[in-house]
Amino acid sequence: MNLDKAKKRLAKQLTKGFAGYPTLSLTYSGRSADKATEVLLTFVLEQGAVAMEQRFSSTEDVRHDATIQSVLVKIIERSGAKTVTEVATVAIQATD
């Protein structure tokens, strides 16, 4: 899947708003606000359930990585998530 198609499919999921459980949340982080090198997926099956997490990272911006964006779309589709949310800003990672 190309990058533009993956971004459009993600955007469509994000605009639906809360539609119930299961939920999937995307949180981007990186060394600066301009470059997200990691995305954290948080999946919650039902209210009160323990959240499951999966991380993807890259040396480049994950928001512009066709492979990672395609994987995110596939995970959303296969998980059956009714609600998909995204943190609008890039969280700054602490440097060691």
In 3D space, the residue among 70, 3, 54, 62 whose CA is nearest the CA of residue 30 turns out to be 62
Helix, strand, coil % in the chain, rounded to nearest 5:
30, 30, 40
Phi, psi of 21 (to 5 degrees): -100, 155
Residue 23 is inside which H or E element, if any? strand 23-30
pLDDT at 93 over 90: no
Round the average pLDDT of the chain to a whole number and report it: 92
Report whether 51 contacts 44 (CB < 8 A): yes
| Domain edges within the chain | 3-92
Measured distance CA(36)–CA(48) in Å, rounded: 29
Q: What is the pTM of this model?
A: 0.88
pLDDT at 96 over 70: no
Measured distance CA(55)–CA(27) in Å, rounded: 10
- 25-49, pLDDT tens digit by residue? 999 999 888 999 999 999 999 999 9
% of the chain at pLDDT higher than 70: 98
Give the pLDDT band (50/70/90) at residue 88. confident
pLDDT at 1: 76
pLDDT at 65: 93
